[in-house]
Chain A
């Protein structure tokens, strides 16, 4: 058996509209995205025998969504409990299912409805597990956790609010050219600095834009992909890291993230390095997530991300285009699966006004803090 994911490819992509409040069920949105992804690659429900999603218990499940779009029977169905940290494992798991013959055509989706808003905790009147130590102190939600990381980075490496602002401004600038993005008005560094505090050192514009919507991608074998309408986008390799049981409080070094351990694993498995990457869809639940993981993946040294972005190295004409769609910060928060959609669009050469010229490789990262993963897509099979 091959030890590489290179025999699998993403052949179809679909999504629902991204809106602040849809009034729709997760089943409706996920079914729409799945139907679009199949139509995109010229397949039908009859071709699908695998379905998987990740969620935090807030989503219609794979068998429901498959049924809703007319799939009669699924030979492989997997519902994964997790958030941004688990996206890579879910997509790579779908590829592994294809490569080991457990399924031939797999739909991977993530959907978020209005009932899911991770930045707020007003219904959290009781907390169990590790949260019982933090919740009573008013410390319970991701913007607080990653602001805690950011503060330590500022202390150790002297990174600044302007450095975070450079990331927010750049991503918003990219979203201007993306009609599917929810936040498309350009912002300046002053706008960033004048945005209100959320969890200091995070301001409003450090935080992703939580919305309703769904994304689906279709994974199949490279052989089958060759007969389908679009240029196949191959998986070149994937890696994850999971330490400290996912504890954001006990993780040993808050100035970095899972990517400290994922990155060398990924570069080793793919034989690639940062200079080989044309498009980087960096998981950006917060600006600081981009900062820490960008350093960890080796695009620049600790404390240099602000200068890197200000010098135009993270955009068109620079070293690597970071989140050409505007990311979770500006396109909207579909828990990182929209990063996969964008990577595929870019590698097909179908990204229109925001096409990264000659894009052949895309890094897609997922997660923040002590756990997460990343994979690389390429136009040529590994």
Chain B
């Protein structure tokens, strides 16, 4: 499967041609700032080391301060869907596509939703090892991390 959403639409294009754009807030902004620099960073407690997703200003376990910390970008597919129906803006053509919950290696249960690229949808399996790579989100304002099988399909 080739990724199909990297091309930047022309100015004035149908708004439905763009995927939903993130609205960063005071807590999530560093996540997007890291991606813009080609890094995947997750929120982590500076006191106890707990990774927190979605991110929080203070740790939910010890109330310690948190900061975004780079992760290795590797993990495994915990579960996945193959989206066939045109449902979400920016994903109305070039169906189907695969979205997975990727469980990152840093902590059991620490998951990120992300598209899986570089593999036939029929070949994706729970447990598949994947690695993050970075691509511009159509619209041009954000970079997102998608995941590709580590050893190829």
Interface residues of A in 35-64 (CB under 8 A from B): none
Contacting residues of chain B (136-153) with chain A, CB-CB under 8 angstroms: 137, 142, 144, 146
Tell me if B113 counts as interface (CB < 8 A to partner A).
yes
Contact with A199, one of B21, B31, B81 (Cβ below 8 angstroms): B81
Identify which of B20, B31, B84 gathers the most chain A CB atoms within 10 Å of its CB.
B20
Given A122-B16, A135-B20; A197-B84 close (CB under 8 Å): yes
**1/0 per position for A193-219, CB-CB distance to B under 8 A?**
000111111100000000000000000
A155 near B87 with CB under 8 A, answer: no
Kindly identify which residue among A128, A133, A140, A198 contacts B85, using a CB–CB cutoff of 8 Å. Answer: A198
- Cβ–Cβ < 8 Å partners of B25 in chain A: 128
Q: Given the interface contacts A121-B20, A127-B22, does A151 sit within 8 Å of B81 by beta carbon?
A: yes
Known: A124-B88, A151-B126. A136 touches B111 (CB 8 A): no
CB distance from B34 to the nearest CB of A (A): 13
**B130 interface hit (Cβ, 8 Å):** no
Chain B residues with CB under 8 Å of A247's CB are 54
Q: Is A22 an interface residue (CB 8 A)?
A: no
A47 shortest CB reach to chain B, Å: 45
Pair B109/A136 contact, Cβ less than 8 Å: no
B interface footprint on A111-129 (CB within 8 Å = 1, 0 otherwise)? 0000000011110111111
**B49 in the interface (beta carbon within 8 A):** no
- Tell whether A21 is near chain B: CB-to-CB under 8 Å: no
Contact A250/B91 with A125-B18, A132-B22, A144-B81 known, Cβ cut-off 8 Å: no
Which A residues are CB-close (under 8 A) to B85? 196-199
Give the CA-CA distance A249 to B115 in the complex, in Å. Answer: 14
Count contacts on A: residues with CB < 8 A to the other chain: 43
Chain A 171-190 residues near chain B, CB threshold 8 A: none
Contact A152 B21 (CB under 8 A): no
The reply to whether the CB of B97 lies closer than 8 angstroms to some CB of chain A is yes
Contact status A139-B99, CB under 8 Å = yes
Q: Which residues of A contact B81 (CB under 8 A)?
A: 139, 144, 147-148, 151, 199-202
A-side contacts of B115, CB under 8 Å: 137-138
Tell me if B19 and A151 are in contact (CB < 8 A). no
How near does chain A come to B52, taking the closest CB pair, in angstroms? Answer: 10
Minimum C-beta distance from B86 to chain A (A): 9
Give the complex CA separation of A128 and B126 in angstroms: 28
| CB closest residue in chain B, given A152 | B79
Partner of A126, one of B20, B97, B99, B112: B20
Does any Cβ of B come within 8 Å of A192's Cβ? no
By a CB distance below 8 angstroms, the chain B residues around A143 are 87
| Residue B96 is within 8 A (CB to CB) of chain A in the complex | yes
Give complex CA distance A152, B109 in Å. Answer: 14
Q: How far is it, in angstroms, between the C-alpha of A249 and the C-alpha of B89 when the chains are bound?
A: 21
Q: Is the CB of A128 within 8 A of B80?
A: no
Asked whether, in the complex, the Cβ of A144 is within 8 Å of the Cβ of B99, the reply is yes
Tell me the minimal C-beta distance from A205 to chain B in angstroms: 13
Determine the chain A residues whose CB is within 8 A of the CB of B19 once the complex forms.
135-138
Q: Which residues of B are found within 8 Å of A200, using beta-carbon distances?
A: 81-84, 96, 121
Complex interface: chain A residues within 8 A of B11 (CB)? none
A73 contacts B by Cβ under 8 Å: no
- Do A140 and B20 contact each other (CB < 8 Å), given the known contacts A133-B54, A200-B96? yes
CB distance from A291 to the nearest CB of B (A): 15
Chain A residues lying within 8 Å of B91, measured Cβ to Cβ, are 138
Q: Does A81 contact B (CB under 8 A)?
A: no
- Report yes or no: B21 in contact with A125, Cβ–Cβ below 8 A: yes
Contacts of A141 in B (CB 8 A): 87-88
Please, which residues of chain A bring their CB within 8 A of the CB of B21?
125-127, 136
B15 contacts A by Cβ under 8 Å: yes
Q: Could you name 24 residue pairs across A and B whose Cβ atoms are closer than 8 Å?
A: A121-B87, A122-B88, A124-B88, A126-B20, A126-B21, A126-B23, A127-B22, A132-B24, A135-B19, A136-B22, A139-B81, A139-B83, A140-B87, A144-B99, A148-B80, A151-B81, A152-B78, A197-B96, A199-B84, A200-B82, A250-B53, A250-B109, A250-B111, A254-B79
Residues in A lying within 8 Å of B, measured CB to CB: 119-122, 124-141, 143-144, 147-149, 151-152, 155, 196-202, 245, 247, 249-250, 252, 254
Given contact pairs A119-B87, A137-B99, A137-B113, enumerate 6 new A-B contacts (beta carbons under 8 Å).
Answer: A122-B87, A125-B20, A128-B23, A137-B146, A250-B53, A250-B54
